[in-house]
């Protein structure tokens, strides 16, 4: 199996990342990932790109096989993941085009499998133990710093920190829901940041979310509310810029062997009951 060091999971409107790539199919004990994995190189680093919804956007947020996606990346050698995604702003100052690098996460999904350690046997017969991992700080501090610095280097001043609230989807929020989210002090709302982050932690992967605001959420503005066409339009206007930031962030990430963050030692003291790839 080919090796990669860093993974990038592309969200809505972000279906390709590298020009010169090798496309491979990866099988996992949890089924097929969203699409093929595309391998390429950035600044001498081997990178694996996976389109979160599939390259033709065939998968709605609640039907993405998040477990297969993260397992596939780890099986290729990935230990650090960048996860850009489109979000709605919950504050007037977080309008379209804002780049926010969150440091906190709120889960408001309803029906997503969000752990590898559920006691169900794998196809080979191994049974994962029940494991309770720390998730107080859901994102890698080293990855966050690399993303923030990369954005500033491209004259795109990011919001450094904030809370991403993840809803089930595929519908957008009602005005009442949006106003409630804002009243809690949360920053942006999306549909795909969970369980991606927690599954990455369970696999001892460093995970960094980069959220691109494509609209003000329904309760934060007057009018008809957000549409999917609006989301894709704003993302398309900024995808080239975001790609440059991701390139710079990839180059700035440490060697995986030199990781000294909490993500790398997430399993300390636990018997997993299964062997990770």
Of 217, 224, 255, 265, which one is the catalytic site residue?
A: 217
Task: Name 193's Cβ contacts closer than 8 Å, sequence gap at least 6.
Answer: 83, 85, 102, 105, 164, 166, 209, 211
CB neighbours of 132 closer than 8 A, spacing ≥ 6? none
Q: Give the CATH fold of the 6-258 domain.
A: Rossmann fold (3.40.50)
pLDDT digits (tens, 9 = 90+) for 140-157: 999 999 999 999 999 999
Global pTM reads 0.94
Q: What is the pLDDT of residues 4-47, one digit of tens each?
A: 999 999 866 665 678 888 999 999 999 999 999 999 999 999 99
Q: Are strands 37-42 and 22-24 parallel, antiparallel or unpaired?
A: antiparallel
Q: Is 217 a catalytic residue?
A: yes
Q: Are 234 and 214 in contact (CB under 8 A)?
A: yes
| 241 belongs to an annotated ligand binding site | no
Q: Does residue 57 have a known ligand-binding role? A: no
What is the rounded distance in angstroms from the CA atom of residue 96 to the CA atom of residue 181? 18
Query: Tens digit of pLDDT for each residue in 110-124?
Result: 999 999 998 889 888
Known catalytic residue: 19?
Answer: no
Residue extents of the structural domains in the chain: 6-258
């Amino acid at each position: 199996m080919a090796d990669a060091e860093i993974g990038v999971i592309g969200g809505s409107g972000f279906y390709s990342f590298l020009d010169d790539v090798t496309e491979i199919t990866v099988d996992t004990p949890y089924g097929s990932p969203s699409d093929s994995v595309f391998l390429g190189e950035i600044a001498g680093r081997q990178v694996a790109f996976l389109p979160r919804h599939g390259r033709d956007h065939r998968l709605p947020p609640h039907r993405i096989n998040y477990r297969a996606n993260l397992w596939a990346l780890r099986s290729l050698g990935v230990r650090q993941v960048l996860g850009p995604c489109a979000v709605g702003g919950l504050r007037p100052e977080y309008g379209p085009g804002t780049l926010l690098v969150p440091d906190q996460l709120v889960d408001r999904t309803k029906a997503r499998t969000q752990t590898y350690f559920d006691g169900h046997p794998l196809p080979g017969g191994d049974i994962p133990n029940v494991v309770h991992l720390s998730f107080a700080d859901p994102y890698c501090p080293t990855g966050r710093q690399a993303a923030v610095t990369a954005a500033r280097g491209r004259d795109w001043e990011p919001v450094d920190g904030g809370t991403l609230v993840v809803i089930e989807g595929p519908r957008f929020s009602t005005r009442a829901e949006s106003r409630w989210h804002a009243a809690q002090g949360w920053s942006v709302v999306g549909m795909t940041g969970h369980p991606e982050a927690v599954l990455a932690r369970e696999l001892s992967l460093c995970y960094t979310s980069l959220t691109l605001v494509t609209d003000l959420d329904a309760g934060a503005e007057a009018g008809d509310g957000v549409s999917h066409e609006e989301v894709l339009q704003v993302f398309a206007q900024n995808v080239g810029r975001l790609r440059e930031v991701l390139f710079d962030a990839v180059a700035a990430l440490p060697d995986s062997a030199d990781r000294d963050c909490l993500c790398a030692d997430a399993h300390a003291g636990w018997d997993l009951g299964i062997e990770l790839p």
